[in-house]
Copies of this chain bind each other. A is one copy, B any other.
Amino acid sequence: MSETLRVAIVGGAGYAGGELIRLLAAHPGVTIASIHARDRGGAPLGSAQPHLGPLGLDLSDGEPGNVDVAFLALPHGASAAMAVRLLDAGTTVIDIGADFRLRDPQAYATWYGGPHPAPDLLATAVYGLTEWSRDDLRGARLIANPGCYPTASLLALTPFARAGLLAGDVIVDAKSGISGAGRGAGSDYLFTELTESTRAYGLGGHRHQPEIEQGVVAAGASVGVTFVPHLVPQSRGLLATCYIELGSDLDDDALTAVLADAYDHEPFVHVSAAPPATKLATGSNHAFVHARRVSPRRAVVLCAIDNLGKGAAGQAIQNMNVAAGLDERAGIGALGVHP
């Protein structure tokens, strides 16, 4: 490609925004045109993201101008209106936020507390779980980047759903690092409160539950999903432990074959020989999956990702690469930082 894509990042002072900048700054096919952060226009990027200070970039107020791609890393409800304007201006929009993830406006209203700001766009948004959406992603103008929990859960569940193997409701017990709560988290997220501690949350309902269920149904399985997220004392990393009921008696080899058939040629999803540690994926766009039978008709499927990598910024860039016809691995090929 003789020219590079001009991109903007909106929400550049947050954690997902920071990861986007870190990766895009080193992407060979991209030029960062602008980085937007509310109330910080003119400030050096390093004032908000000290680790990115060496880039020597500045923050902007306002909205992206004439760019090819805009990444929106904003709180829910804030992306939709800006997306309309950007799309009208000819910019491809990749929304890291939640505004375009649920296809059903009614579900959005139920889970996000009000009517969708741009319901007409829901039908055109492509849900970017890359490995399962490539055909739709090519040339897409509006991409809904999946949530971190749905990414891990659906990478684990989709192969079984598509193979018609899910015979009953699914339980997803998920464990996430704290960065998923964002940089604006309050005093419950102080180091002192969270180190050496694990807890469940969201038992009364979490917005990623309908998103996971939507994905399982879209993959052909008419089953419900119980979803319980937990916080574990680490910054990055997300493990989805998925309990599935099987219609038939598959042994470990057969379960592994289902995953291998789905992912053996994938550059970013790897079938792991052992239960994967989240640390395998830290700082990367890679995902590690593993399945094992735990009773005659029940199996566990695991998926480990970095919630800010494949669970957010990494996958957003992967989606951009596919949408723009670039090498899918461009800019996101790095392996996990270990130990």
CB < 8 Å: which of B183, B234, B295 contacts A196? B234
Least CB distance from A23 to B in Å reads 9
Contact A233 B230 (CB under 8 A): no
Contact A241 B228 (CB under 8 A): yes
Name A171's closest neighbour in chain B (CB-CB): B243
Contact B333 A26 (CB under 8 A): yes
Interfacial chain B residues near A226, Cβ < 8 Å: 243, 294-295, 298
**Given A51-B279, A192-B339, residue A233 in contact with residue B233 (CB < 8 A):** yes
Alpha-carbon separation in the docked complex, A300 to B234 (Å): 24
Contact B338 A300 (CB under 8 A): no
A277-309 vs B, CB cutoff 8 Å, 1 = contact: the mask equals 111111100100000101100101010100000
Interfacial chain B residues near A279, Cβ < 8 Å: 51, 193, 196-197
Name A13-29 residues within 8 Å CB distance of B: 15, 18, 22, 25-26
Alpha-carbon separation in the docked complex, A221 to B26 (Å): 39
Interfacial chain B residues near A22, Cβ < 8 Å: 334-335, 337-338
Alpha-carbon separation in the docked complex, A334 to B283 (Å): 11
- Give the number of times this chain occurs in the complex, counting copies: 4
Residue ranges of A at the interface with B (Cβ–Cβ < 8 Å): 15, 18, 22, 25-26, 46, 49-55, 169, 171, 173, 175, 177-179, 181, 183-185, 187, 189-201, 203-204, 224, 226, 228, 230, 232-237, 239, 241, 243, 267, 270, 272-283, 286, 292, 294-295, 298, 300, 302, 304, 333-339
Interfacial chain B residues near A199, Cβ < 8 Å: 239, 275-278, 304
Question: Top 3 closest A-B pairs, CB basis?
Answer: A197-B279, A192-B339, A199-B277
Alpha-carbon separation in the docked complex, A55 to B329 (Å): 13
Interfacial chain B residues near A204, Cβ < 8 Å: 292
**Additional A-B contact list (20), CB under 8 Å, known A178-B190, A179-B339, A228-B241:** A22-B334, A26-B333, A51-B335, A51-B336, A51-B338, A52-B335, A169-B295, A191-B235, A193-B279, A193-B339, A195-B196, A196-B237, A197-B278, A199-B278, A199-B304, A200-B239, A203-B275, A228-B294, A232-B232, A337-B337
